[in-house]
Structure 1
Amino acid sequence: MSRTIDYYFATQSPWAFLGHERFVQLLRSSRRDVNVLPVDYGRVFAASGGLPLPRRAPQRQAYRLVELRRFADHLGMVMNVQPAFFPVDGTPSSLLITVVAQHDGMPAALRLAGAVLAACWREQRDIASSGTLAELLDETDLPAERLAQAQGADARARYDAHTQAAIDAGVFGAPSYVVDGELFWGQDRLDFVARKLAF
């Protein structure tokens, strides 16, 4: 049995935002380690048959907003289901989280991921902006030089490797959690993740 959970997500995913803090609490209570793995879901969708949001049927797009409001209300979370900066490119923030994981460790990457998700879905900030990302580094007590490092070839290679690992693991949506080789898709499956961790 592995002590480490693989956490695959998109930094612009509302579902990852809804589940992130509950997942962090599960990690703490279970005393499991985590691999924080931001992923390029454009590539994942191409491999798995998924469609990016703008290409989905109008009925599905409308129902998505209903479900986001339902879950936010149910969880007591403040959330803008149609934020000012969305759709937004998740690549810059994903690369930043990747270099933070490399240099500062997974707990720091997990903290930054939560800040990025909240910036998009609660605080109406542009997570593709280098200015916003610099602010988030400062707010999470992380080194400012990580922003420049995120532009390097090594960060891109690691991000590409995360994406390939997700595809190899059968991931098709965000967020996804792999516990002892078992895949759980969606923040609404965190109860099942908790049961798995209790064994």
Structure 2
Amino acid sequence: MTVKIETYYDFRSPYAYFADYRVRKADFGLTTGVEWVGRPIFIDVILNLQSGREPWAPYVDTLIPPKRAYLMADIRRMARFYGAPLKPSWKWPNRPNQIPALCVASLLSGPVEQVFRSAIFDGLWYEQRDISAPAVLREVVARAGGDPAIVERAGDPAVRDALTERTVEAYAAGIFGTPTFVWNGEIFFGADRLDVLAWNVNRMAAER
């Protein structure tokens, strides 16, 4: 039996990177085949909608200093826990421009999208690559088995608008952060919920 699991992600989320890393390692006990369907979204749009702002309102950092310090420590701790390499080239408050890569991802599908997604996560979180550079994006698309010309298509403002609209629709459907997995109408939020997701999928498969 093969099940379909939708994966909502934004490249700038370290927890989405950890989730992608775990999916590649298959370290959470799934005993059935899975089709992982990538759903790129703009996390800034999600955060704005949560705060009642327009989708592309200027970014506002709402984390208080103690929570920011906890978040930074937790990212390092979870990287060690999962065994995921972590060496980003940026530090807060600098924020990498993930929009070009997300726009490219939105035009891909199937295995090409999945390989592209993982390569961009690796490029951002430990290979120290500029994931906004067209040359980098073209190289990654080609390595994933896609047509590098799609990078130019992704630069069309209409592509960003379409992805923004899909992000708004995802928020309306209950997606409030990344990574989020949707299976059988259920939402599982966070890299650590992959274990619970696997438990649910395995349990239902055993009952059939």
TM class by smaller structure: 0.7 to 0.9
- Alpha carbons of structure 1 residues 161 and 180: separation in structure 2 relative to 1, 3 Å: farther
Paired residues, number: 193
Please tell me the root mean square deviation across aligned C-alpha atoms, in Å.
2.6
Quote the offset at 1:157 in angstroms.
Answer: 4.6
Aligned partner of 1:67 in structure 2 is 74
TM-score, normalised to structure 1's length? 0.85
2:97 corresponds to 1:89:
yes
Trace 1:6-85 onto structure 2 (pairs within 5 A): 6-24=6-24, 25=26, 29-49=31-51, 54-80=61-87, 82-84=88-90
Aligned partner of 1:190 in structure 2 is 194
| Structure 1: runs of 5+ lacking an equivalent | none
Q: Which ranges of 4 or more aligned residues in structure 1 deviate by more than 4 Å? A: 26-29
Amino acid at match of 1:21: Y
For 1:197 and 1:90, locate their aligned partners in 2 and report how far apart those are by CA, in whole Å: 32
Quote the offset at 1:165 in angstroms.
Answer: 3.0
For 2:157 and 2:189, locate their aligned partners in 1 and report how far apart those are by CA, in whole Å: 30
- Alpha carbons of structure 1 residues 93 and 57: separation in structure 2 relative to 1, 3 Å: same
Trace 1:141-160 onto structure 2 (pairs within 5 A): 141-152=145-156, 155-160=159-164
- Alpha carbons of structure 1 residues 40 and 161: separation in structure 2 relative to 1, 3 Å: same
Amino acid at match of 1:75: Y
Deviations 1:24-63 (A, max 9, x none): 437985323233111011221122249x684411111111
Aligned partner of 2:177 in structure 1 is 173
Aligned partner of 1:5 in structure 2 is 5
Normalized per residue, the structure richer in helix is 1
Quote the offset at 1:68 in angstroms.
Answer: 0.9
Quote the offset at 1:154 in angstroms.
Answer: 5.3
Deviations 1:142-172 (A, max 9, x none): 2111111212355335413430232122111
Task: Quote the sequence identity (%).
Answer: 23
For 1:145 and 1:89, locate their aligned partners in 2 and report how far apart those are by CA, in whole Å: 20
For 1:152 and 1:30, locate their aligned partners in 2 and report how far apart those are by CA, in whole Å: 39
Structure 2 contact 30–199 (Cα < 8 Å) conserved: no
- Alpha carbons of structure 1 residues 30 and 83: separation in structure 2 relative to 1, 3 Å: farther
| Structure 2: runs of 5+ lacking an equivalent | 53-58
For 1:169 and 1:23, locate their aligned partners in 2 and report how far apart those are by CA, in whole Å: 24
Quote the offset at 1:78 in angstroms.
Answer: 1.1
1:131 to 130, 135, 152: 135
Report the 3-state secondary structure (helix = DSSP H, G, I; strand = E; otherwise coil) of the residue aligned with 1:128.
coil
For 2:23 and 2:86, locate their aligned partners in 1 and report how far apart those are by CA, in whole Å: 18
Amino acid at match of 2:90: A
